Amino acid sequence: MSKRQLISSEEDTDKGKVAKIGDTDHDENTAHNNMAVATPAKTGKRTDYLSWDEYFMAVAFLSAQRSKDPNSQVGACVVNPERKIVGIGYNGMPNGCSDDELPWARQAESNLETKYPYVCHAELNAILNKNAADIKGCSIYVALFPCNECTKLIIQAGIKEVIYYSDKYHDQPNCKASRRLLNMAKITYRQFKPRKCQIVIDFTSIDGFPLKQSLSVASP
């Protein structure tokens, strides 16, 4: 392994690094990078592309940005054994039920004035949004370890693997129930460990002006 490859792999494991989709080489030809038209065409295969796990988890996180929940945005992505996405969902109120009228509070004098009796979790929506005849044998990528209610759905849908990012409610009873059910149903679950903690989507990169360059060009 060359020194440069070594550095590259070390950077990949650095959680503080920001992955910029469409970012250009930033170790050489700095002057060229300030002028996209002058940047020579690259000939080698990209090495900083997303892994499958990163890709599907990123889709789940992007979907979560559609959520109206002010406190918790969760996304889920169902993937078949051929690595095709067959369902995406995020937490939200049921179809036809106004998310302007229903409450979003986590606490209130009455449980009926909290979101909990009404909101559909991301896993439920991802499973019901499926665009395949069934999702038996699929994997589900979720931002948050599934609650016991979603775990029931996951099991009944025939999903065989759960990949989650956060386990912040690990010690709560509903998560303990989830693990109990998943273990009994022989569904594997594993925590996703990203190489990088952020992926930045830069719309301008397609025009050859990645974010960094735009900023550097704008600066005197």
Active site residue 123: yes
Q: Does 160 bind Zn ion (CB under 5 A)?
A: no
Q: Does 181 bind Zn ion (CB under 5 A)?
A: no
By rule CB under 5 A, what string of x and - marks binding of each residue 62-101 to Zn ion? ----------------------------------------
Q: How many CB atoms lie within 10 A of CB 169?
A: 14
The β-bridge partners of 120 are 92
Give the range of 73-81, 103-111, 114-122, 136-144 binding Zn ion by CB under 5 A.
Answer: 114-122
Q: Does 150 bind Zn ion (CB under 5 A)?
A: yes
H or E stretch at 75? strand 75-79
Chain residue whose CB lies nearest Zn ion: 150
Q: Does 182 bind Zn ion (CB under 5 A)?
A: no
Backbone angles phi, psi at 189, to 5 degrees: -145, 140
Q: What angle do CA 67, 69, 71 make, to 5 degrees?
A: 125
Q: Does 115 bind Zn ion (CB under 5 A)?
A: no
Task: Outline where DSSP puts E strands in 138-187.
Answer: 139-144, 161-166
Site residues (vs Zn ion, CB under 5 A): 121, 147, 150
